[in-house]
Structure 1
């Protein structure tokens, strides 16, 4: 349709990335870049003006007033329900991608892929569709195909994850819940395997973003069941 244009806002804390995306989107006659933000505080000031149909946002940005990641996207969905989301990220961890999907965000583009993949992603988001760039699609497909491990954590695995993310070491968790260090290490490793997580930093982020533990929380009480080992 002649004159049709989607108003797009871009949020990323790397000026070089913003410049690259701006150039990549310039060839799309149906996309109008109406604003850019380097953090969540700047982003909300722009969104408050009502000039955005589709937001393209980095997953990890400086916290500022409204944070980043799942917490930021959830707030945007509540405060600006008409704004559609495209997540632009370097994170291709299956747990993070699954968390995005659970949040109702189905248009994700990896920074490892060419910037022009943002164009179909923006159009898909605007129409309520689904779009994953090649790297993201591969990661999601591998996640969906691997059904050998259970999706849910056991009660004890979840508690180990919560205590670990609260700041306790494996030794401290073992003492708190009256289990051996070996048992705690095994339960932590099993939880990471089920979630498709390889690095401790991603495990901590997963715990905070999925409400298992708050970023400012203190270790809580152990589960009330009989000790192992």
Structure 2
């Protein structure tokens, strides 16, 4: 008899947590062995309960280990033997690209049918990539916009600084005063960062910042020699 795929499910919304578990239980061969609502509970579960695949929300604030990409990076470093299925409402192509770079081969969008979670678990247990339909659309968009190129998106120190301050709630004018740069320069650096990330709207920038853990980090980025010569 084949051994069941042991799954830990993590999501800060009880309805999603229950729905994901119920959807997986409809598939024979999948066993939910633990549930978590934030990263502290999740890490404790992974440290104490044998697990083959983790199904985790990407935005899950409140725990000791954070959420978003920093948490995914921590999980890959400390539990490399555990396959990861990421659940998300975000569909920003740059964010999905970073998940792939971190070694995540399965992503399920929460707007897709919950059955895709179990399908993703089955694929990950065999080390096979799985992307739900909505995620696949976003990834196809990334490939089209990049013209097939796989260059990594890199923001300058000053662009990242402006993004962090903006998503923390400051206006362009307030950031200008805080950093002693002109409003035009701040606006240009924000727009350049959004263009590099493939974002069109401020709401997408907030989603990207949340998924990348930028909302949990210090807004001030120290200057270094890489900033020399950048306009103020």
The two structures share one fold, judged by TM-score above 0.5: yes
The within-5 A match list for 1:19-98 is: 19-98=18-97
| Structure 1 residues 7-52: Cα deviation after superposition (integer angstroms, max 9, x where no partner) | 0110011111121112211121111111111111111121112321
Task: Tell me if structure 1 keeps the 8 A contact 2:5–2:31.
Answer: yes
Paired residue for 1:120?
119
The secondary structure found in structure 1 opposite 2:77 is helix
Unaligned runs of 5+ in 2: none
Paired residue for 1:140?
139
Paired residue for 1:4?
3
Specify whether residues 183 and 138 from structure 1 end up closer, same or farther in structure 2 by C-alpha distance, changes over 3 A only: same
Distance 1:28 1:120 in 2: 9
Task: Tell me if structure 1 keeps the 8 A contact 2:69–2:212.
Answer: no
| Structure 1 residues 95-138: Cα deviation after superposition (integer angstroms, max 9, x where no partner) | 22112111111100000000001122112211222110000000
Match status 1:224 vs 2:228: yes
Relative CO higher for 1 or 2, CA cutoff 8 Å, sep ≥ 6? 2
Distance 1:9 1:35 in 2: 5
Unaligned runs of 5+ in 1: none
Specify whether residues 177 and 47 from structure 1 end up closer, same or farther in structure 2 by C-alpha distance, changes over 3 A only: closer
The within-5 A match list for 1:168-183 is: 169-171=171-173, 174=176, 180-183=182-185
Paired residue for 1:204?
209
Distance 1:154 1:3 in 2: 48
The secondary structure found in structure 1 opposite 2:48 is coil
Q: Out of 175-184 and 90-99, give the one that drifted further.
A: 175-184
